[in-house]
Structure formats: structure tokens, C-alpha cells
Amino acid sequence: MIVSIDWLREFVDISLEPDKVADLLTDAGLESDVVIQGKALDIEITPNRPDCMSHLGIAREIAVLTDRKLKYPELILEESSDLASDLIKVEIEIAEKCPRYACRIVRNVKVGVSPSWMKDRLEIVGLRAINNIVDVSNYVLMEMGHPLHTFDLGRIAGGKIVVRTAKKGETLVTLEGEDRTLSEEHLLICDANNPVALAGIMGGENSEVSEATKNVLIESAYFDPVTVRKGAKSFGLRTEASKRFERGTDYEGLLRALDRTAALLAETAGGEVLKGVVDVYPLQKEPPRIHFRHENASAIAGIDFKPEFVRKTFKGLEISFSESPGGYECKAPTFRPDLLRPVDLTEELARVYGYNRIVPDFSYKGWLGNDVGDPLTDITGLKRFFAGLGFNETVTNSLLSPKQVEGFFAEKAVRLQNPLSTEMSLLRTSLFPGLFASVAFNLRRGEHNLAFFEHGDTFVRDKSSQTGCAEREEFGGVMCGEKSPKQWRREPLKNDFFALKGYLESLSRFLRLHDYRFVPLPHDTFFSPGLALATGDGPSVCQFGRFPGSILANFDIEIDVWGFALTLETVRKIRSQPFRHVGASQYPGISRDLSFMVKSDISAGDMESLLRESGTRTLRRVSIYDLYEGDQVEEGHKSLTFNLFFQKTDRTLTDEEVDGIISKIISKASKDLDAKLR
């Protein structure tokens, strides 16, 4: 909100430079900037301070902070002898939504241009001058913070104001020319026949003050904050009036604002103010009593408040108080709906005292008996592991488009009621769409060699959960292109299936999972081809493979992309096993190479497990180091070369023993898999 410094000066002596005033207000919770060449301040008003949405309110703050006196605007109101109540009756049908409605009548006004001092001030605070009637109500709004409305009395039928809720389907053309269809949630100001204003939000065109207006009805009311807020929101409207009503206006001060408006109207537009206020106040409101305890306030704030400081601050903020044991019985002014409890008064004191004067206390109070540490430490370890392998961690948008989730449980996706756009209307059901979007983004920028991982939550609809949504923690990654380009002594390393499989074999070592196997994936997974890395006794640790082109096409990706998804539940279980070190053998081992010729359909895995089984525990390591298919072997056959390493932990192994094991291996290979030694 913009406030004029010149205008503030009417209510408080300001001897400070504008930037010092801005600092002072900022330090008291009203963040301010100097604007318009030092003539005004732009102040951010938090939702709890409707009282500060006016020059008078800001002036009060300055008065308290600089120890000055606040001067209220002078009020000289001359009334004619005719009674306003003879011309207008007010009826409130629903007191909870309109606890108080007051109005005055000013007769025989001359509608015209406002005086220049008024126009200038309105302009500084960002309001356009319209005519002397509307301008006065805006002026008082900016001055005292209470919204007022002026009607052309000649257009109010039946001499009657009725405050009621709208009927479903009823319509009203509001001031800016919009035809609004109403429902029961809207509160209306009506004359004897029709609605004339949307209460607390905007007037109607049918009762608007115009050049032809002779007699003016000024409304000064208190409307229920929630009603005004809902009504304004339903039309996407935010007016100077609705902003204040929804935060809570001053139900006592509205009379002063009404009188001030009438007096200013008489001054700037001529006319006579009829005698009396028509004031209907069916639901009397009263600020709560607050039992303020000095000691508690000092303890919570960590400030030793002196009694004279407390009294002076309360006085300045117009909080009434009387002494009681250990503190004061207090009552907040009606313009401060935010002051309800002792702690609210503590904040007022701390704020005026100055947060920056509080001496920081860093006395650590020791262990509290709660768990310490981070339950995601294991995930941090996994992240570092994958980063070490060359993956870049990424964080992707969890809001996706229908096309992006296609193929990933799309039918179970959680939909937002109010998305920013359909492109971001569904919550991610898997990490992969976000990772594909990451790949696509980089491919478009000429980066083809990519490896990403992400850790985060995915969501699906689930009737059994309290929110109707199930949330799952996931860890997955994708890769494509090359891990490293061709170099002077090395062919390029590709990011392909065997690269990924190698990473996951390393992962099993990282997890200290020695007994693992690779098993084919069921058909309903996204990988094709793909495998699962599983523990020896069953559960999957990770699924991985290539993504089908049909899914990648949704992201305009035309190259092969490989990916993996960890089963965090299994990973955590494995990681939580205690680790014990195994002593290394002190005796030398023997290494032998064996080449077999087998039929092409025998898998390397079959050969490898045969070797492991028949090699007994003496065979410590098996690795395949050559695969050959071509001229040198029989048609329909391939040659596999293994390196075998034998070792014992308790003694030196002899060549003869190894020869014995090897001949057993060879005969079993020949019998079971028809493998011939080359």
C-alpha cells in the first residue's frame, strides 16, 4: 500500500527523513520502501493488520515508535434540522453477516470535480479521481481505513435499505459494467425492490452516483469477513473495500468515518447533512479481555520488559488496561482484531521494543531423548554411489501432462482440481516421465551423452488411504549415448545394456549383496528387454532395461534409453544387515583359462553357474573374458573363454588338485551342456 508522507504529517509530527521512517516501520513489522521521489512509502501490510491499511493507522505506528502524540482528524459537522431517518429505513435480515449498518444522508450536493489537494493525494496513493462524491469516500477510506459507499438516494426505491443474502440466480450489474449472477453465498444491499450493491465488495450500476445526483446516501457498515472474502473470491474480485472487510474492520470506528465523510462532502460538494445517523446494530461486538502477565511476556520474548515501557506502549497502541496481580487486565481497541490473547500483546511489546535489540541466546539444552540423525542417510549414500559412476542427480517437476504419464499407471494418476495448465495437471506416477523430459531437454541442446538419477515421491490414487492418494518413495535413473567418447587408446564406452548391468553389479557389491541373480522381468513392466536384479532368496533389488520406443516417442526421443528403478524396501533391508569382514587367504592361488565350444543357444549364465557348482568352494572367481562366434567355430556354435581362479584359505593348493577339479568340470560341462573343450 502506498501512503503519502505529507498526508501522514496531518496526524503525527515526523522529523525524520523518509528513508529513516521506512527503516523504522520495517523494523516494526511494516516493510517499507521510499517511493515517488521521497513523497511516499510503499508498505507491505501483513493480513493481520487491517488497521494499518490507512494513513491514520500508519501514523499511529510512527507515533508509538517515535514517542509522539497521534492527532485524529478534526471533525466539524453541521447538521440540518431534517432527520435522515425520515428518508431512509434500514432492515438487516441476517445479522451474523452484517452486525452493523449505519448511514447518513447529504442533500442537494453539486456533483463536480474535487479540489486539487484531494485529487493530488488520491493520485499519490494510486487512486484515480472520479467526482467529488466518490473521491470523498475514497479519501476517507485511505485516511481512516474504513470502506464507505455512496449511493444516489434518488435511485434507491422505497426509501429503504435491506441487507440480505442473494437468491440463487439473482443478478446485479456491478459498477464496472459486469453482469453478475448471484447465489446464496453473496450478501446484498437492496432497496425496496432490487439489489443495489454487492455488500462490502462493489456497488451496483443502478444506484451509482452520477452528474445528475442530488441527494447522497453514505453507507458505513461492518460486514462479516468470511462472507466478503468468499463473495469476492467467487468473482475473482479484490477491491479496496473487500481487502479491508475480509481482514476485519473497526465496528466502533465506522461512525467516525461516516461523520468524516459527511463533513467532507458538505465541504467539497456543498449540500446539507441531514440530522442523525441511521444506525442499525443488531449484533453488538466487544473486544475480549486479555489477562496480561508481565513475567510470562518477558520469558517468552526473552526481553526484560520494564513496567513503564509496557504502559507507554499500551497507551500508544490504544490498548486500555488496568493493573491486576502480576500484570494488567487489557482490552484491545476495536480496530485491532488481531489482538486477542496475552501472546498477541507480547508480540506488540517485542515489536515496539525492537527485535534487533533482543540479545541472542544460544544456550544449547542438551540431548532431549529423541532420535537423532537423518533417516535418509542410506539414500545419501546411494546418491553418492551413482554420482561416482557418472550419473547426474536431477530434480524434476512432479506435475505432468496426461501424455507424459501415458504407460505409467496413467489410469491411477492423481489429478489436480486447479492446475496451472493441463501440461501440469497430474501428479507423477513414476520418476521416469520426468527423467525422459530431462533427456529430451538436453538432446534438443545437443547433449547426447546423458545419465540421470532422481530420488523422490510418486503418487497414485488409493481409496484405502485417508487422503485418497498413496505416496511412494522411489529411486530411479536413465541413461543414453556414451559414458565417455573415443579416446586415443580406447574405444568409446557406451551407455547401453551391459554398461547398466555392470553398474548394477557394482551396486550389489556396494550393498554387500554377494548372493544375487538376474531374472527375466514379467511382461507388465516398462522395460523391453529388461531384467531384475534379485537377491538369492527372491525379492527384487532393482529392475532395469531398455524403454520401448512407443513410450519414448511421447517425449520425441528417437534414440535408445536405458533405465533402472530400485526397490528401496529391499535395498534398505540389505543395507541394514550388519557387516562383518572376512579374512583374506594367506596362501597363493592358481589361475587357469578354459575355452569351451557350446551351441549358440546355451547362455553364458548357464555355463557360468555350471562352473561355479562343479568348481566347489575352491573356485573363488569365474569371469568370462572372451566370446567368439565366427569362422573358427562350428556353425551354430560359439566359443566362451573363462578365467578361473582357485584358492584355499587354509593351505597352498597344488597343481594336481586343480587339474582334478578341472577334469571334473570338463566332463560335467560335456554331459550337461554338450560343451567341448577347445
Partner 1 sequence: MPLLKQIEEAGREFAREVEQLDASMEALDSLRIRYLGRKGKIPSLFDQVPVQPKESRSEAGMILNNLKKEIEDRIAALRKVTVSKSETQPTHLDLNLPGDSVRFGTLHPVEHTMQDVKNIFTSIGFSVAYGPEIDDDYHNFEALNIPKHHPARDMQDTFYVSEDVVLRTHTSNTQIHIMEKEQPPLRVIVPGRVYRNEAVSVRSYCLFHQVEGLYINRSVSFAELKGTLEFFVGKFFGDDVKFRFRPSFFPFTEPSAEVDISCLLCGGSGCPACKNKGWVEILGCGMVDPEVFRHVGYDPEEWTGYAFGMGIEKLAMLKYQIDDIRLFFNSDVRFLRQFV
What 3-state DSSP class applies to 221?
strand
Per rule CB under 8 A, is residue 28 in the interface with partner 1?
A: yes
User: Which region holds residue 566: left if phi is over 0, alpha if psi is between -120 and 50, else beta?
Assistant: beta
Contacts of 274 (CB under 8 A, 6+ apart): 79, 80, 82, 83, 84, 87, 104, 105, 106, 107
**E-strand stretches of 36-170:** 40-44, 79-83, 89-92, 100-107, 149-152, 160-165
Which part of the chain contacts partner 1 (CB under 8 A), choosing from 87-95, 155-163, 440-448, 504-512?
440-448
Per rule CB under 8 A, is residue 389 in the interface with partner 1?
A: yes
Which contiguous run of DSSP H or E holds residue 24?
Answer: helix 18-27
What residues numbered 418-437 form the site for partner 1, per CB under 8 A?
A: 418-420, 424, 427, 437
Single out the residue of 100, 180, 260, 351 in contact with partner 1 (rule: CB under 8 A).
351
CB atoms within 10 A of CB 40: 22
Residue with smaller CB distance to partner 1, 325 or 636: 325
What 3-state DSSP class applies to 315?
helix
Per rule CB under 8 A, is residue 29 in the interface with partner 1?
A: yes
The amino acid sitting at 607 is M
Which part of the chain contacts partner 1 (CB under 8 A), choosing from 121-129, 329-337, 374-382, 664-672?
374-382
What residues numbered 48-67 form the site for partner 1, per CB under 8 A?
A: 48-49
Q: Minimum Å distance from CB 394 to partner 1?
A: 4
Calculate the alpha carbon distances from 641 to 46, 644, 656, 677 in Å.
76, 10, 22, 10
What 3-state DSSP class applies to 162?
strand
- Burial of residue 663, with CB atoms counted within 10 A of its CB: 0-12 exposed, 13-18 middle, 19 or more buried: exposed
How far, in Å, CA of 395 to CA of 413, rounded?
20
What 3-state DSSP class applies to 151?
strand
Single out the residue of 463, 489, 580, 617 in contact with partner 1 (rule: CB under 8 A).
489
Q: Minimum Å distance from CB 214 to partner 1?
A: 38
What residues numbered 495-524 form the site for partner 1, per CB under 8 A?
A: none
For cell 550337461, the residue is: 672
Q: Minimum Å distance from CB 50 to partner 1?
A: 9
What residues numbered 211-250 form the site for partner 1, per CB under 8 A?
A: 225-226, 229-230, 246-247
Per rule CB under 8 A, is residue 343 in the interface with partner 1?
A: yes
Which part of the chain contacts partner 1 (CB under 8 A), choosing from 98-106, 278-286, 306-314, 411-419?
411-419
Per rule CB under 8 A, is residue 579 in the interface with partner 1?
A: no
How many Å is the maximal CA-CA distance in the chain? 131
Under DSSP, the state recorded for 579 is -
Per rule CB under 8 A, is residue 374 in the interface with partner 1?
A: yes
Evaluate whether 412 touches 460 at the Cβ level (below 8 Å): yes
Q: Minimum Å distance from CB 77 to partner 1?
A: 33
Which part of the chain contacts partner 1 (CB under 8 A), choosing from 7-15, 361-369, 555-563, 653-661?
361-369
**Spatial CA neighbour of 84 closest among 259, 242, 276:** 276
Which part of the chain contacts partner 1 (CB under 8 A), choosing from 417-425, 541-549, 567-575, 614-622?
417-425
What residues numbered 441-480 form the site for partner 1, per CB under 8 A?
A: 441-442, 445, 447, 450-453, 456-457, 459, 466-469, 471
Per rule CB under 8 A, is residue 368 in the interface with partner 1?
A: yes
What is the grid cell recorded at 95?
Answer: 445479522
The amino acid sitting at 173 is V
Single out the residue of 365, 581, 617, 651 in contact with partner 1 (rule: CB under 8 A).
365
Q: Minimum Å distance from CB 252 to partner 1?
A: 21
Per rule CB under 8 A, is residue 366 in the interface with partner 1?
A: yes
Single out the residue of 391, 510, 596, 642 in contact with partner 1 (rule: CB under 8 A).
391
What is the grid cell recorded at 478?
Answer: 536413465
Q: Minimum Å distance from CB 96 to partner 1?
A: 14
Q: Minimum Å distance from CB 555 to partner 1?
A: 12
**Spatial CA neighbour of 666 closest among 655, 654, 678:** 678
For cell 439489489, the residue is: 195
Q: Minimum Å distance from CB 447 to partner 1?
A: 5
Peptide bond into 578 cis (omega under 30): no
Which residue stretches of 554-630 are H helix? 568-576, 604-614
Which part of the chain contacts partner 1 (CB under 8 A), choosing from 57-65, 370-378, 530-538, 659-667?
370-378
Size of the site for partner 1 (CB under 8 A): 99
Per rule CB under 8 A, is residue 575 in the interface with partner 1?
A: no
Pairing assessment for the beta strands 562-566 and 590-599 based on DSSP bridges: unpaired
Per rule CB under 8 A, is residue 362 in the interface with partner 1?
A: yes
Which part of the chain contacts partner 1 (CB under 8 A), choosing from 365-373, 518-526, 534-542, 595-603?
365-373
Per rule CB under 8 A, is residue 192 in the interface with partner 1?
A: no
**Spatial CA neighbour of 239 closest among 254, 223, 253, 255:** 223
The amino acid sitting at 288 is P
Residue with smaller CB distance to partner 1, 169 or 369: 369
Single out the residue of 294, 312, 331, 383 in contact with partner 1 (rule: CB under 8 A).
383
